[in-house]
Structures are given as C-alpha cells and as structure tokens.
Structure 1
C-alpha cells in the first residue's frame, strides 16, 4: 500500500468507533483470511455513481477570504514585522540597523506605518487571489482528478445492515470481518495518537464553497447511502 493520505486535515475529526467491520463475499476467504490482504478501491470506481461529484460551487468564497484576513492580521503584528525586517536587513548587509529605525525611515519617506501598510496591501489583494483560485480549475475537474488519484479502504461501524449483507456479502452468503481501530495499522505514521480513519459524510446538494464544510466537500456521499455508516482509510494511487 502507498503512503496513507489524509484527505481532509482541517478541523476536528470525529472519533472512530472501537470496532469497524468489512462485509466480504465468500470468495474473499483466501486472500483476506489466509493471505491477510485487503483491497483498496479507486474513488471513481466505488458503488456510488455520485461518489465524485460537484459537492461545492467554488474553492474560495467569504469563508476563505475571512481565513486569509485572519492570517494576514496574525502575520502583520509588530513582532512578526520586526522579525521579517531583521531578516531582510541582515540579507542586505544592514544587520546593525534596528528594525524600529527601519520603520521610522519608512514612515518618514511614505507617511505610513509599515505594519498597517503591509496589512492593508495584503488584504487588498485577497479578492484577486480568490478570483484566481476559482478560475484556476473547476470543482468538477479537481474532484475528478482527486477521485482518480486516491484509493480508499471502506469499512462500516455496523455489522447488522441487511442491505450491506445483501450487497457486499452476496445475499448473506459471505462474511463480516471485525477490525480493532486501535491497531497500529489505523494510526498516523507521524502521530500515533491520530487515526487514519475518516468518517464519510452523507449530504445532498452543493456547498457554496469548500470551506463551508471541508469534510463534506472532499469526503461525502449522497444521503441515500447513509445506512452504510462508512469509515475509510485513504491512500494515494
């Protein structure tokens, strides 16, 4: 398996249940139980024909602008500006000049406070940045590329779903395998406290922008599939 991929690393993730289950057909006994192998599937090839769909209208909207404005505010505090000035002065051979002096010279020459000027200039460019992001690629094209490049291993938090026994276990002739989500296989390589399991959201319609609900934008299925109560591990294809 390729390196696990965190499809959505944004905000708080729901905690996986202690146990998850995989419905399997009877012919999978050898490769799963005896050979101890599991199958990852490309997102474009899952059973939901609307798996990879236009879940959001645009990449950047008001939430994106607000996020960027907060970032600009954080990065244009006096402390951050002083550090950036010190690095720049050192690069041009003026390391002996205190940042405060450089700011005084800037204000004398341009009549503006440097920190406030930087903040205003950066915020003024945010609408153009949003427009450029939205023009770069359509959500449909992006999601199709994502669906082509990601594989997923799908599990369920229930083993008593009659439709899933019928569909995935071939009319109740197959079996269900139980997985312990505390096992290291489900843990993030760089942070063992984090699980690789991601809960699938079930939503219809479209979000205005991706940041309205990143988990729904990049990891959801239509509400018709909610009975599956699905959790996934993703990896790059």
Structure 2
C-alpha cells in the first residue's frame, strides 16, 4: 500500500555508557568524598550560556502543522482499527481524508500562524524558567586523561578526578522504562542550536529529550560528556548561595570506583586524600592513582597508590618521580655494565 513508502519514525536506541564516568574537581571539592554529596547544577548556572536553550522560532508553520495533524490521524486510525489500511476501499478513504486535511490547512488564514509564532518568544522564556526550577545536571566524561579538562575543571592539574560506576543507583536509577532522566546520557554535539517546531514536538519522547537537554555546540566535543539529568525535587540538601542555590544529591562511597590525584597536586592535598581513604573502610575498594606528566608526549601517566599499606609505601607511590623517562629506564637496565 502507498503508506509503506512513508518514513518510519526515528527511534533513539539507548547507549550503554562506559563502566566508569569521571568528574573533574578542584581541591575544595574533596568534601564530595567526605560528605558523600555532590552538586547537580541548574542549566542556567552551567558554564555554557547556550545550555538547554533551544530556539523557539517558526514554531507553527503550515507544513509542520499539517504533518502533525496527519500523524495524529494515522495513529488514531491504526490504534482504533476504524479503517483497515490493507483494504483498498478503506485505503481510498484514508487518502481522501489526508487530502481534505491538506486543503483545509493550506487554504487557511496565515494570520493565525503569524499570531501563534509571535508567541514563540514567550514560550521560550516560559520553558527557560520552568527548566531552571525543575531539573539539575551532573556533567561527567568518559576520559580521565584530558589535558584541557584537567586545566579547566581541576584547577590546572592541582585538583583530582573521581570515577563513578555508571551502573550504580547514584546516577542510574530510572523509575520506569519511559524515564528519560536519572541515567547517564551521551551529549550530542552540533554546529547549529536545536530548533523547536511542531515537527520536533511530535518526536518520540527520547529524541525530544535529546534535543532539549543533551545538545551542545560542536566546540565542546573534546569533553566527551555524558550527563545525568535529575528532577530538582530529588535533591537531598540545598545550600543557599548568591546567584543560585546549590542542589546536593547523595553520592555514596560504593558508587566510586577510582580517584585520580592531579599531577601538580600539593603534598598536603595528596596526603590528606590518601589518609582519608586509608581511614575510611567504605572507601577501601576504591583504587587511588597519582597522575604524572608524560616524559615524551602531551599526556599523563597514572600510577597506583598503595594507600592501605605502610606510610612509606604510600609516600613512595605519591611522591617518587616515576614518569616514563627513557634515559632513566636505560640507565637502570644497563646499570650492571658499569
């Protein structure tokens, strides 16, 4: 039949996130470990001024409105069985109904659509205000070895990175199969800002969610971001702050799989974090690493810190110069010759 040539609706296939997702932090954020709470940030307080700001323009065009009405009618027909589209007689009635819709909409007064589009800026502002009140975002990444992010978010390599289990209920706690929030979602990078039209509003819920909350400029693609969107009402604490409240959510220790100390972290900070982990039984499963600048490339090497052993072993792992220096390695390899 004729309708077989029509495009099938696009359906988003849920992506499986990496086993570990990372959060870059400054030294002051060590309280995330000690207090077991982490901030989820309202969109308007994030560092990207375009965050969750789709374009509401030409929301009501005749062609989009026509598509929405047709899709709605077809859905009703299929769900109710009022017409059998495999029956030639019913198929003819179906196409007659579609042509009638086309003629009615295309012959309608443009003033109605002009008036509706004039309201788009108000709809955009209303969406922005509601978003500020109702959701909060935790930005994570799949990459712990990103030099720019170490500089931008971990105080120029003086801070640290926490690796969270992506399957833990802390960030993966959907309440139903249709829940688009409460789980890690990969950010989509585009050259153009998403536009909200009638056609967009008729998308499958997951695709509309991607458009509204997961789309950023291509210039941010180096971050390889995965984000978790949570309802603001799920927070466990609020800290009033000038410019916007800080919303805190539970971050239990068993959600953490690893911690990486920055290459330039102070001795005081290294010792403080390592001793905190040693003295906190609920952190004993967490692997601790110390980052060091690579000798030959623009990158970092990571060395595990044995914080559960003697202070001497811990201090050696934290402070010994163990970068992969080929000259030092060669000297060690052939030391027996001299």
**What is the TM-score of this pair, normalised by structure 1?**
0.65
Structure 1 residues without counterparts, runs of 5 or longer? 1-9, 83-112
Q: In the alignment, what sits opposite 1:108?
A: none
Tell me how many residue pairs correspond in the alignment: 196
Q: Cα 1:231–1:134, aligned 2, differ >3 Å: closer, same or farther?
A: farther
Give the match's secondary structure for 2:38.
coil
Alpha-carbon contact 1:57-1:207 (below 8 Å) kept: no
The whole-number CA distance in structure 1 between the counterparts of 2:166 and 2:155 is: 25
Alpha-carbon contact 1:22-1:177 (below 8 Å) kept: yes
Q: Quick check: 1:22 aligned with 2:23?
A: yes
Matches within 5 A, 1:59-98: 59-60=59-60, 62=63, 65-76=66-77, 79-81=80-82
Q: In the alignment, what sits opposite 1:148?
A: 132
How far apart are 1:161 and its partner, in Å?
A: 0.9
Q: In the alignment, what sits opposite 1:222?
A: 217
Give the match's secondary structure for 1:39.
strand
The whole-number CA distance in structure 1 between the counterparts of 2:80 and 2:211 is: 37
The whole-number CA distance in structure 1 between the counterparts of 2:162 and 2:59 is: 39
Q: In the alignment, what sits opposite 1:158?
A: 143
Q: Cα 1:51–1:141, aligned 2, differ >3 Å: closer, same or farther?
A: same
Q: In the alignment, what sits opposite 2:160?
A: 175
The whole-number CA distance in structure 2 between the counterparts of 1:50 and 1:76 is: 40
The whole-number CA distance in structure 1 between the counterparts of 2:58 and 2:20 is: 36
How far apart are 1:158 and its partner, in Å?
A: 0.8
Alpha-carbon contact 1:51-1:222 (below 8 Å) kept: no
**What is the TM-score of this pair, normalised by structure 2?**
0.48
The whole-number CA distance in structure 1 between the counterparts of 2:178 and 2:166 is: 12
Q: In the alignment, what sits opposite 2:268?
A: none
